[in-house]
Copies of this chain bind each other. A is one copy, B any other.
């Protein structure tokens, strides 16, 4: 195939992204695959995270890991395989997970005496060890985190959002008192919210899950919920107050200062590769990804523009020197591919969501300037070579802030106070969004709304408007609005 033929083929494939307005689900899959974030494996339900997607995940990891360590936690690693009997010890837990389990029955050339479950989450295998390590109040708190793969069998996979295997961090802590454990649960929810807002430019609503929506085995589950581009909700992180459920199931006791045996109080909390899906859906457009600068693998891509060999030499010399100037402060990538046109490269990096494109042509060399193009707004401005690092840092900070503001404005424009069930049904049938409505607190009313509208209670938000009201369904008393939405 000739260079041109190859160019044409690539161009066509980039243009082949389904518009969001036509089919949002196909747009999402197109963008994830064409931006080379991930691909489906030939194994059903499984995902391959490609280098560009993994680089984004590594930046998410680094930001989260710094915050997890700054709040006093240490990383550790626990086994992948969990004896089936461990899962059975906490009844609610095993019931919640059993349809999703993958089970190893044969190993080392023999059938195993007890089947091993591939971890869907690690509370049980970690608690088995904590029971051995914790003896005295002096051993508390135990503040652990693990970066790991987990498996929950998935029949209708979607890249990053629902895959049989996914990557995450799971925090697991044990405390002497209920108060400390509850404080920890909310501290980590705050860490997640701050990460989502500051790094992923994702405005989130913090709140508590209903008993129906909580984690199997928790006393209370808290979550951060974000609005995606199709107005659906996505749970971007969860933090669980486990009470003494697992402590009692695994007999984790300690001798307190008064020399009495007590059960520990526990928490667990996690953020997964779903966060990548949230970033795609909250910020992307019909041209592809739009990545927040704090997390983008490349913050700036330099595209050299030239026609003749002479121009090429002058431009590439300038590009090299600019790259050196910027590299200490900015994640910069030079697109030096000489078989592709600048226009093709522009489309390619727009698809991949690089926050700022820096163009350098022969005229720019003589006037010692460049052109900066923002991915989020498309705005192009010239900039001098002098102090370019400062200019770019300011521009990247502005892109980060604008992306957050835009996502917040979108969420606010698509959030509505709704007090009648007819209006609620019409809202969920039409464009959808977040409905702030009253609910009496009963699982029965909650379930009926879910069945009839597919909308669920995302969270009982911490920041609730004053004022009581009447439940959408039964008219029963409500002491504040909750957030309803269709969700991923």
Contact yes or no, B101 A41, CB < 8 A: no
Q: How far is the CA of A54 from the CA of B402 in the complex (A)?
A: 39
Chain B nearest CB: distance from A168 CB in Å? 12
Q: Contact between A136 and B1 (Cβ–Cβ < 8 Å)?
A: yes
A77 interface residue (CB < 8 Å to B): yes
Instruction: Add 20 more A-B contacts to A102-B107, A105-B106, A107-B164 (CB < 8 A).
Output: A1-B136, A39-B129, A43-B82, A43-B83, A43-B116, A48-B77, A48-B79, A51-B76, A51-B144, A54-B75, A55-B74, A77-B167, A79-B165, A81-B151, A99-B108, A101-B107, A102-B106, A102-B108, A103-B106, A118-B118
A76 close to B104 (CB less than 8 A): no
Which of chain B's residues have a CB closer than 8 A to the CB of A58? Answer: 75
Q: Is the CB of B102 within 8 A of A98?
A: no
Shortest Cβ gap from A426 to chain B (Å)? 37
Residue of B nearest to A339 (CB): B138
When the two chains form their complex, are residues B76 and A54 in contact, meaning their CB atoms are under 8 A apart? yes
In the assembled complex, A320 has its CB within 8 A of some CB on chain B? no
Interchain residue pairs with CB less than 8 A apart (25): A1-B136, A39-B129, A41-B78, A41-B79, A43-B79, A43-B82, A43-B125, A48-B76, A51-B74, A54-B74, A54-B76, A55-B75, A80-B118, A80-B149, A80-B151, A99-B109, A100-B108, A101-B107, A102-B106, A102-B107, A107-B164, A108-B155, A118-B118, A138-B339, A148-B149
Number of chain A residues close to chain B: CB under 8 A: 58
Partner of A104, one of B83, B102, B132: B102
Do A105 and B105 have beta carbons less than 8 Å apart? yes
Given A58-B75, A81-B165, A129:B339 Cβ within 8 A: no
Give chain B nearest CB distance to A160 CB in angstroms: 12
Interface residues of A in 50-74 (CB under 8 A from B): 50-51, 54-55, 57-58, 74
Within the complex, the shortest CB–CB distance from A61 to chain B, in Å, comes to 11
**Closest partner residue, chain B, to A3 (CB atom):** B138
A153 CB-CB contact with B under 8 Å: yes
Given contacts A101-B107, A138-B339, A339-B138, contact A48 B80 (CB under 8 A): no
A75 contact set on B, CB distance < 8 A: 51, 54-55, 58
A247 CB to closest chain B CB, in angstroms?
17
A109–B98 Cα distance when bound, in Å, is 7
- Name the residue on B nearest A115 (C-beta): B106
User: Counting CB contacts under 8 A, is A49 at the interface?
Assistant: yes
Q: Which residues of B contact A42 (CB under 8 A)?
A: 83, 128
Interface assignment of A255: CB less than 8 Å from any CB of chain B? yes
CB-based closest 6 A-B pairs? A51-B74, A108-B153, A46-B79, A49-B77, A102-B107, A103-B106
